[in-house]
A and B are shown apart, each in its own frame.
Chain A
Amino acid sequence: MIALLTGMLSTAVLAGGVLALAALGEVLAERVGVTNLGVEGLMSLGAVIAIITVVATPNPWLGLLAATMAGATGGMLFAFATVIVRANQVLCGLAITFLGLGLSASIGHDYAGVPSPATFGRVPVPGLSSLPIIGPAFFGQNLPIYLIYLVLPALAHWVMFHTRHGLAMRAVGENPAAADAAGLPVTALRFWYVTLGAGLAGAAGGYLTLTYVPVWSEGLVAGRGWIALALVIFAGYRPFGATLSGLLFGLITALSFVGQARNWPIAPAFLNMLPYLGTIAFIIVPVVVWHRMRRIMAAPAALGVPYHRDVR
């Protein structure tokens, strides 16, 4: 039983890491008021760029960096269209998804099936990694896992909620006109946070091919980008919320496979549905049970609305 829990938690952390990182990136974009539906395409782009990079120079950090840059480049394109030209965010996001999927399929054509020559090895934290159940899952993983689950969300949380800059950033997402009147650079903040968020989505794709499934094939991301988008809502647009929801989703997915492997008397189709049912339940239940959650979980007020100073 303990071995089972240990293993389940361990795979949940690995599988959830992809989602947590992509969701964190999306939190950044949505906090400044821009919905980026391009996550799936950006992840795919990051995944293939990471493989191409490590095939050229077998250093996983370089691969991850290249994946981040690829995501950020796609993000700049998206931010240019949505923040500067102020085109429709939904359409541009979908365009980025298709662009990313198509581009990664064509540039990855010759890399299909090539195993990643360099991956992140495990770096156990001395002492903590031998704790029962949670030790191997949380303290016996590779370095990007620690980054994804601790360093990045902590940094984002601190910037967002404990600095003046974070206040400005959130103001841009809540009420860009007021922020503009207060002298904040609305366009610049939106542009760079969308780019940064897209970079994290690219990094999530790179993390996928550098640790979890170290090989490139078309369709590798398999819809995880869309799930990351949904998790942002469940996360209440908060960095640690994104991390936790990624982990929880990983755990439920792991549970559905463990259920099948242990032959629980539940239909496999139902077990496969668990992650999605879980997502819906997690979004609905807290809001219904505890009314205050509605305010806490609320989306930034200006989410999805392009800001035109000249029409004010």
Chain B
Amino acid sequence: MLGLAAGAAGSGFLRPPGLRAQPRLLPPIAEADALVAFGHTSPVTDGGWTMMHNQGVQAVRKAFPNLRTIYVESVPYSADATRIFRQFVAEGAQMVIATSNYGDFIRDVSDRAPDVAFMECDGHAVSGNLGWYYITHWYASYVIGIAAGLMTRTNKIGFIGSFPIPSVYAGTNAVLLGARSVNPAVTVQAISINAWFDPQAATQAGTALAENGCDFLCGIMDEPAYLRVAEQRGIKAAMWNTDMRQYGPEAYVSSVTLDFRDYYVSQVRARLAGTWQPQGHFLTLGNGVDRAPWGRTVPPEIAAQADAMRTRIMAGYNPFRGPIRDAAGRLRVPAGEVMDDARIYQWDWAVEGVTGLD
């Protein structure tokens, strides 16, 4: 207990928030003295979100063999998170990376530890020592949406989401807009299963969508349950997080794949060099988020058409442009206006053609 208190005081953790230094560069650290701590939202074996972040951790370990990394799995979204981040600081971490949104639970700690660099995935706040980062997954979803629009026969696409939150709105809307860009008759039916990981519920949701006429399933899930439903029923599916074709090679179309390795290595390098700065950062298409190589049953001409848009987006084109109406028919983005990443990141309404998400 004494040691913990001393460590906390030494790292500036007990300093009152009012005395916090103005934004400034944190001093460089020798690699052998550095400790980088990661807080994950689920187990690193989840086969999805946290597994991809853990690959980033491994990449950091490989790039900086003398640096120490620690991580805690299944950090709850509660005051327990504050305790865990505080523990990281007390152990002497100079950099704390939360691989999911913890809002005020992390802000409480970062404000009291101004000498420690904090990064929060899917966060929104930037302070003197806290930044956020996120992937622009909507571009990958848009590209996959094009393939879905060209491959569906029933013009009904199913989407299995967790909760009605911006990431799910952005993913669902992007699939619809991508599909409608090549096939205006497409509609997307969404189901929220109230979990990121519940294979039983995802199986039931996928089955219900398929029985309702959807012949292409999309979603944001940490596991491949609905891909198996698609495989059994002879329809198609696109996944999230990782390449999951082994679970349903006939049905598999592609995935929105995540890759945090380069980003984590670059951020840790900046921290060591003393050039790290708190900021909000979007990982762009091709640099942290992408579509997986197309499944073997995707016709080459469809893959080529979708990839043409991928190339355009990577060159700077933004396909999220008006007119875009919401599910109630109101014009939200007028013709000629473009939704930038910051706006898509906050997306909280369903686009016309999406049902089940309001």
Contacts and interface: CB of A to CB of B under 8 A. Distances in A.
Interface of A: 3-4, 7-8, 11, 15, 18, 105, 108-109, 112-113, 115, 208, 212-215, 217-220, 222, 224, 253-254, 257-258, 260-263, 268-269, 272
A268 B45 contact: no
B177 interface: no
B345 to A, nearest CB: 23
B46 A217 contact: yes
B46 A260 contact: no
Contacts of A262: 212
B128 interface: no
Contact of A257 (B43, B47, B208): B208
Interface in B188-241: 189-195, 197-201, 203-205, 207-209, 211-212, 214, 223-225, 228
A265 B7 CA distance: 56
Given A220-B199, A222-B198, A7 B204 contact: no
B356 interface: yes
Contacts of A112: 43, 45-47
Given A217-B46, A262-B212, A224 B356 contact: no
B207 A257 contact: yes
Contact of B208 (A217, A220, A260): A260
Contacts of B193: 257, 272
A262 B210 CA distance: 11
A3 B162 CA distance: 27
B200 A212 contact: yes
B45 A218 contact: yes
A15 B201 CA distance: 9
B22 interface: no
A261 B200 contact: no
Given A217-B47, A260-B205, A269-B194, 8 more contacts: A213-B200, A220-B199, A257-B191, A257-B193, A257-B201, A257-B208, A260-B192, A261-B158
The 3 closest A-B pairs by CB, nearest first: A112-B45, A257-B208, A213-B199
B241 to A, nearest CB: 11
B46 A257 contact: no
B208 A268 contact: no
A113 B47 contact: yes
A74 to B, nearest CB: 21
Nearest to B213: A261
Interface of B: 42-43, 45-47, 158, 164, 189-195, 197-201, 203-205, 207-209, 211-212, 214, 223-225, 228, 246-247, 355-356
Contacts of B164: 268
5 contacts: A213-B228, A217-B45, A217-B197, A222-B199, A269-B192
Contacts of B46: 112, 217-219
A268 B207 contact: no
Contacts of B208: 7-8, 11, 254, 257-258, 260-261
Nearest to B211: A7
B45 A113 contact: yes
B199 A215 contact: yes
Given A112-B47, A257-B207, A268 B247 contact: no
B209 to A, nearest CB: 5
Contacts of A269: 192, 194
B247 A213 contact: no
A224 B205 CA distance: 17
A78 B46 CA distance: 29
B197 to A, nearest CB: 6
A133 to B, nearest CB: 13
Contacts of B194: 269, 272
Contacts of B192: 260, 268-269, 272
A214 B247 CA distance: 10
B247 A215 contact: yes
B212 A258 contact: yes
A108 B45 CA distance: 9
A98 B189 CA distance: 38
Contact of A260 (B45, B198, B200, B356): B356
A268 B197 contact: no
A262 B356 CA distance: 9
Residue among B195, B212, B228 with the most chain A CB within 10 A? B212
Contacts of A214: 228
Contacts of B199: 213, 215, 217, 220, 222
A258 B214 CA distance: 12
Nearest to B161: A268
Given A115-B246, A272-B194, A224 B189 contact: no
A15 B204 contact: yes
Contacts of A11: 203-204, 207-208
A261 B247 contact: no
A260 B219 CA distance: 15
Contacts of B189: 261, 263
Contact of A254 (B204, B209, B247): B204
A15 B42 CA distance: 25
Nearest to A6: B211
